Structure 1
């Protein structure tokens, strides 16, 4: 009888000990919950690693929390995929509007107004990008800059990183020596780096370009298009973008487009560096610097123009 009582006491004590060690301390649980609520996977992984190291007896409970977290992520991803698959053409568009001022150097040297719009439709196997920009300035009663640019670019995704692109672009800039310029291109793109904080993509393909001059004549040429697009989320509210040698509209947000259309007669290169800082809600401020270079511009025109822009951006 004594032995039975002793055995029962030992088993009861072991049960209480197991319950004590299985109970994750409230501060540790709160720390994990806060990391999960932040939505940052890197923070969650770091906090969980620390929690396991400092609470080795509670690893099974921490693993259970992580299993629930991963299951929730999987359900969210599945729901997002379903939404993309079932969405109509006019659904799930995102965009930006941008308005501000600029200072130009080169063929003109003045202050002016700058505005633009960007729209992105991202589906499961394809993506459609559209962006347009206008820069306008007057000096002493006459127009000294009137630059228009509109680009539409459909992408077909072969995989997470490889895609095919098509591109149609219209440009107008009489002060660079042409009244209209049309570019058609198609080729392949590849995302070399794609993380939550950083993205680096390249693309290339043949192009056809038709240029109309103010005098009424025009020129057609075969060319090649090359593009590099880099985006870096430096901090939660600050992003750096750099585009050179390509026209690319990213999932990542921003009017950052560069163009390198190469032919034997005249190569056009555009590179834009932009720093974007969030203010409140969907409103951000952006500082950008653009270099536009023509290797063989019309007679009397300078080869290089620059634009320094300060704008407000609204996400919708």
Structure 2
């Protein structure tokens, strides 16, 4: 008695269903190529054309994009999980000039560095900004802002953070200031073009002013906003507020436009406000900077 193995029967029954496709090979290749770029704008444009010209293949087109997206996401997670601490960093350096008003009327040279490593669970950020001022008393480093922050991501939106900051601003009466803070952060907007992080938590600050020193327990709130206006222009606004016996606010608004390759130009405006500055100094300092930026 002869019989056909069940596996062969199942394969024969499945083959016609698998072979059926209403999507021409050329269109499939076009959709796959777009999906592999990871560029959402390009994917949306190609998918729209493919669906319009192949109205009966919408589900198949969506599945192609979803399968490739899932594969790329799995590859990215595996790469992040195996990366060492010194791998995966990206950032930018900037160099330019600035004009200050308030407690000082000066022209200065500005240099800055921003680094970020976004891992599977941990995110690291480091930033440094130095203004080298040229005034009547000679050339001196009047302002230094430096910070390091580490985030632990509970989800795509919720994270815990810890931050250390150093500031030196002699024109505002601050010989040196350290701040240590920690808390929770929430990504309020996580879109393709717009991202907005909000943070809050307790802080400690140790400040040596020109005439006295002050150690305080404070609360810290922060906002980090990024808006990709276009493929070549980015708007950012970063704010940090410390609430203590006397409050302070630091806000930087910037517009970065790509020139060519990895080089961009940046116009930024910084506002630094101290509720109770040393005697004889103004509460508000503003700094306008124009810099060249190199991404790496």
Say if 2:273 is the partner of 1:293. Answer: yes
1:227-262 CA distance string (max 9 Å, x none): 111110010011101122x2xxxxxxxxxxxxx111
Say if 2:243 is the partner of 1:262. Answer: yes
Partner Cα distance (1:224, 1:201) in 2: 17
Q: Which residue of 2 aligns with 1:45?
A: 44
Say if 2:186 is the partner of 1:187. Answer: no
Matches within 5 A, 1:269-288: 269-288=249-268
Task: Give the drift of 1:283.
Answer: 1.2
State TM-score, norm by structure 2: 0.85
Contact 1:144 1:175 survives alignment (8 Å): no
SS at match of 1:235: coil
Q: Which residue of 1 aligns with 2:54?
A: 55
Say if 2:293 is the partner of 1:313. Answer: yes
Partner Cα distance (2:152, 2:38) in 1: 29
Q: Which residue of 2 aligns with 1:90?
A: 86
Task: Give the drift of 1:29.
Answer: 6.7
Partner Cα distance (1:147, 1:155) in 2: 27
Q: Name whichever of 135-144 and 150-159 sits farther off.
A: 135-144
Q: Which one of the candidate residues 179, 182, 203 is aligned to 1:207?
A: 203
Partner Cα distance (2:74, 2:244) in 1: 46
User: RMSD of the TM alignment (CA)?
Assistant: 2.4
Matched residues, number: 277
Say if 2:164 is the partner of 1:168. Answer: yes
Structure 1: 4+ residue segments shifted above 4 A: 28-38
1:285-315 CA distance string (max 9 Å, x none): 1111111111110011111111111001111
State TM-score, norm by structure 1: 0.80
Q: Name whichever of 72-81 and 143-152 sits farther off.
A: 143-152
Q: Which residue of 2 aligns with 1:254?
A: none
Partner Cα distance (1:231, 1:276) in 2: 11
Partner Cα distance (1:35, 1:126) in 2: 30
Unpaired runs of 5+ in structure 2?
A: 1-20
Q: Which residue of 2 aligns with 1:302?
A: 282
Unpaired runs of 5+ in structure 1?
A: 1-20, 247-259
Q: Which residue of 1 aligns with 2:215?
A: 220
Contact 1:121 1:128 survives alignment (8 Å): yes
Q: Which residue of 2 aligns with 1:151?
A: 147
Rg larger for: 1
Task: Give the drift of 1:219.
Answer: 1.2
Q: Which residue of 2 aligns with 1:239?
A: 234
Contact 1:145 1:175 survives alignment (8 Å): no
SS at match of 1:75: helix
Partner Cα distance (1:187, 1:290) in 2: 25
Task: Give the drift of 1:277.
Answer: 0.8
SS at match of 2:293: strand
Partner Cα distance (1:291, 1:98) in 2: 19
